[in-house]
Amino acid sequence: MSTGKGNPILRASNITKTFGNNTILHGVSVELAKGEIKILIGSSGGGKSTLLQCINCLVVPDSGEIEVDGMVIDITKKKDLYRLRQQVGMIFQDFNLFDHLTAIDNITIALRKVKKISREQATQRARQELEQVGLGDKQHLYPAQLSGGQKQRVAIARALAMDPKILLLDEPTSALDPTLVGEVISVIKRLAAKGMTMIMATHQMSLISTLADEILFMENGRIVEQGTPSVLLAKGNKSRTRGFCDSLNDLVGEEG
């Protein structure tokens, strides 16, 4: 995996966001090279979700610049935002599958309406993606008939069908029953192995330690620490990240 080689595929610089009197992001900057995986950690309220949602402008930043694959996004232009979002896939904590559509139609509707692909081609593509996440046999089930892990896998398939250049994952396993976390993690790991560029907020130690090219520790709307896991998590390192991850490990220890 290349770190910092060539031009970054995503550059978000100096992103600020304030809701009322509450400043959530104080000029945060993130860069991603192609194939790179960065992981956001930190306690809730630190601004991880807001940062991710600012990157694809689901929350429009107050200021800052976003550039995807060399194209600067004009965040005041709706057209630019729609184009940005087509190139940046997003996975949510609570899946956000369309409740009135079957697994396969959740995928085809975006292909047909946004990418204007024919129904036939869209169906074929959707079927492929569902098989990739191991849900080839669940195509015609509705979200209400799927387990949490299955829903998240459909959501991943849906995002991937759009051929995104980058994937944003906002705590993809946090809403899942512990027994279902594994199936989602293995799908994400497979994506990483295929070289998907990702930025992910997660508290899942197995993802942090095995996937991260870089860890970004966020607190009060700032990135307060960043570095590779091998450095930040090294024994004897007094980093905040290490302390945070230790407490995550302790939790797992207690539960297990």
Partner 1 sequence: MELSPFYQELFTSLNRGVVMSVALIVPSAIGGVIIGILAGVIRTFGGRFVRAVGDGYAAVFRGTPLVVQLFVIYFGLPNLGIYLSPYVAAVTGFMLCSGAYQSEYVRGALLSIKSGQYLGAQALGFTTFQTIFWIVVPQAVRRAIHGCGNEIIYLIKYSSLAFIVTCIELTGEGKTIATEYFRFTEVFMVIGVYYLLLVTIAMMILKRIEKTLYVPGFGRS
Provide the 10 A C-beta neighbour count for residue 165. 16
Q: Does position 90 bind partner 1 by CB under 8 A? A: yes
Tell me 36's DSSP state: -
DSSP result, 230-243: HHHTSTT---HHHH
Is 102 strand, coil or helix? coil
Q: CA-to-CA distance for 157 and 135, rounded, in angstroms?
A: 9
Q: What is the closest distance, in whole angstroms, from the C-beta atom of residue 145 to partner 1 in the complex?
A: 5
The 17-56 site mask, x for binding partner 1 (CB under 8 A), equals ---------------------------------------x
Closer Cβ to partner 1, 98 or 227, answer by number? 98
Q: What is the closest distance, in whole angstroms, from the C-beta atom of residue 86 to partner 1 in the complex?
A: 4
Q: CA-to-CA distance for 199 and 68, rounded, in angstroms?
A: 14
Choose, by CB under 8 A, the member of 32, 73, 162, 169 that binds partner 1: 162
Q: What is the closest distance, in whole angstroms, from the C-beta atom of residue 58 to partner 1 in the complex?
A: 6
For residue 85, which of 33, 162, 153, 4 has the smallest C-alpha distance? 162
Q: Does position 172 bind partner 1 by CB under 8 A? A: no
Provide the 10 A C-beta neighbour count for residue 146. 19
Closer Cβ to partner 1, 89 or 221, answer by number? 89
Closer Cβ to partner 1, 49 or 204, answer by number? 49
Beta bridge partners of 168: 90, 199
Provide the 10 A C-beta neighbour count for residue 206. 14
Judged by CB under 8 A, the stretch of 39-47, 138-146, 186-194, 214-222 that binds partner 1 is 138-146
Q: Is the dihedral of CA 146, 152, 153, 157 positive or negative?
A: positive
Choose, by CB under 8 A, the member of 18, 23, 86, 128 that binds partner 1: 86
Contact 202, 41 (CB under 8 A): yes
Choose, by CB under 8 A, the member of 6, 22, 70, 99 that binds partner 1: 99
Judged by CB under 8 A, the stretch of 33-41, 125-133, 137-145, 229-237 that binds partner 1 is 137-145
* Residue the block writes with tokens 């600067």: 72
Residues that bind partner 1 (CB under 8 A): 56, 58, 78, 82-83, 85-86, 89-90, 92, 94-100, 109-110, 113-114, 142-145, 155, 158-159, 162
